[in-house]
Amino acid sequence: MKVINSRKYYSIGEISEITGISITTLRFYDREGILVPAIRSEKSGYRYYSENQMDVLHGIKYLQSFGLSLEEVKAFQHDPTSEWLEKHISEDIDQVKTELEKLENRLHSMEFLLDRVRQSKHIRRDEMQEPDTISVEVTTLRRTWVLSSRHTSQLDADMLFSDRCLELQSMLSRELLFSAGPYIAVFHDGYEKQFNREEGDLELCIPVIKPEGFKSDNLRLFGGELAVGVMHYGHYRDMERTYDYLKEWIAKHGYEINGPAYEYYYCDLGTTFDENEYMTKIYFPVKAKE
C-alpha cells in the first residue's frame, strides 16, 4: 500500500489479493475503461488504485453476481440511474426464467427416459418369471402432445426408420423442445408394408413437453382412443407373428379394429445396441363389435 497526502493507494497486486480479481482482469478493466487506476507511474507503468475505487470494484462484482455482463456494467457506469438498472435487471430476470423453463423441461425429459429404462427392466423380469404368458392390454391411450412427421417413405422392418427418426430429432433441436416418451409409428395405409419393403404412408411421432403458447404445424395431440396392445420382444423383422396373434385375440374377444396400427418403441437404439433387447408395443385402435 502506498500513502500519498495521507490517502491510501493500492498496487494492482494488492487489489488482486484483496478482491480475488486476477491481475489480468484488472488490466482488462483498465483497457476497457471500466476501472482506470487513479495513479499510473509513467516511468514504471505501475498502477495504483484509491480507496474509493475499492467501492467501484465492489459494485462491479455485486452486479456481476446477478448475471450482468461487463458490457452492461460499463453501460451502467455511463448511465447510473435506477431506470437503467430496473430495465436491464427485468430483462435478465425474463431470460433466467426462460432458461429455468428449459432446464425443467430437460429434467422432465430425462425422467421420462429413466422411467422407460426402469419399466423395461421390470417387464423383462416379469417375462422371465412367466415365459408362457402373453399379456394383452385393453386401454384408452393416453393423450399427449407429439411432434409429427407424416409422408410416404420406404418401410423396412429391418430397421427403425432411422431417417425419419433423425428428421424428428432435427425438429426437436430446431424448436428447442424435449422428448417425453418413445417414438410412435402410425401405419396409415397398412403395417404389412414394412415386412415387404414397400413404400407406405407413415406418420412418425415423438411425445414432447409442450411449452405454454408453443405452436407448430408439426404439433398435434395424439391418443385418447380405445386400443388393444401387446408387447413384442426382439427385432422388428419378427413382429409379423405378434401382429397375427393380436388380431386373433381382438376377433375372439368381441372387438374389431377401428384404425391403423401403432407401434410404440419403448426400447430401441436410443436405449440399447442389442437388437434382442428391443421392446415394441403394438396397438390397434378398436371398438366393440355391434
Q: Calculate mean pLDDT across residues 37-49.
A: 78
- The answer to the question of residue 212 being in a domain is yes
pLDDT (tens digit per residue) in 95-151: 888 889 889 988 998 888 888 878 776 666 555 444 455 789 999 999 999 999 999
Position 90 in a domain: no
pTM score: 0.70
**Domain of residue 271, residue span:** 115-288
Percent of the chain with pLDDT over 70: 91
* The three-state (H, E, C) secondary structure of the chain, written as one string: CEEECCEEEEEHHHHHHHHCCCHHHHHHHHHHCCCCCCEECCCCCCEEEEHHHHHHHHHHHHHHCCCCCHHHHHHHHHCCCHHHHHHHHHHHHHHHHHHHHHHHHHHHHHHHHHHHHHHHHHHHHHHHHCCCCCCEEEEECCCEEEEEEEEEEECCCCCCCHHHHHHHHHHHHHHCCCECCCCEEEECCCCCHHHHCCEEEEEEEEEECCCCCCCCCCEEEECCCEEEEEEEECCHHHCHHHHHHHHHHHHHCCEEECCCEEEEEEECCCCCCCHHHCEEEEEEEEEECC
Domain-embedded: residue 99? no
Q: What pLDDT digit, counting tens, does each position of 45-100 carry? A: 788 888 888 888 888 888 888 888 888 888 888 888 888 888 888 888 888 888 89
Q: Residue 107: inside a domain, yes or no?
A: no
What's the domain count of the chain? 2
CATH number at residue 236: 3.20.80.10
Same domain for 165 and 65, yes or no, is no
Identify the CATH number of the domain in which residue 75 sits.
Answer: 1.10.1660.10
Q: Are residues 130 and 254 in the same domain?
A: yes
Residue 225 lies in a domain: yes
